[in-house]
Copies of this chain bind each other. A is one copy, B any other.
Amino acid sequence: MIEQEFLKRLTVKTDTKVVMVVMDGLGGCQNESGKTELEAATHPNLDALAKKSICGLTDPVSPGITPGSGPAHLSLFGYDPLKYEIGRGLLDTLGIDFDFTPDDMAARGNYCTIDENDIITDRRAGRISTDRNIALCKKLDGIEFNGIKIFVKPVKEHRFSVIFRGKGLVDKILDSDPQKEGLQPLDAKATSSSAEYTAQIVNKFIAKARGVLKKEHPANMILLRGFSKMVNLPKFQDVYKLTPGCIAVYPMYKGLARLCGMDVLKTGDTIESEFAALKENFQKYDFFFIHIKPTDSSGEDGDFSRKVSIIEQVDKSIPLLTELNPDVIIITGDHSTPAVHAGHSWHPVPILIYSKKCRFDRVERFNEIDCIAGGLGRIPARDVMPIALSNAGKVLKFGA
Contact = CB atoms under 8 A, between A and B. Distances in A.
A62 interface: yes
Interface in A49-107: 57, 61-72, 81-82, 85-86, 88, 91-92
B68 A30 contact: no
B64 A389 contact: yes
A368 B375 CA distance: 9
A362 interface: yes
A72 B2 CA distance: 15
A265 interface: no
Given A36-B359, A347-B359, A372-B375, A398 B29 contact: no
Interface string A21-62: 000000111100000100000000000000000000100011
Contacts of A66: 390, 395-398
B29 A357 contact: yes
B377 A377 contact: yes
Contacts of A399: 67-72, 81, 85-86, 91
Interface residues of A, number: 68
Where chain A touches its partner, the secondary structure class is loop
Contacts of A124: none
Contact of A2 (B65, B344, B398): B65
Nearest to A88: B400
Given A72-B399, A91-B400, 13 more contacts: A10-B65, A29-B359, A62-B386, A65-B398, A66-B397, A67-B399, A68-B400, A69-B400, A81-B399, A86-B399, A346-B387, A376-B378, A377-B378
Interface of A: 1-2, 6-7, 10, 27-30, 36, 57, 61-72, 81-82, 85-86, 88, 91-92, 336, 338, 341, 344-348, 357-362, 368-369, 372-379, 383, 385-391, 395-400
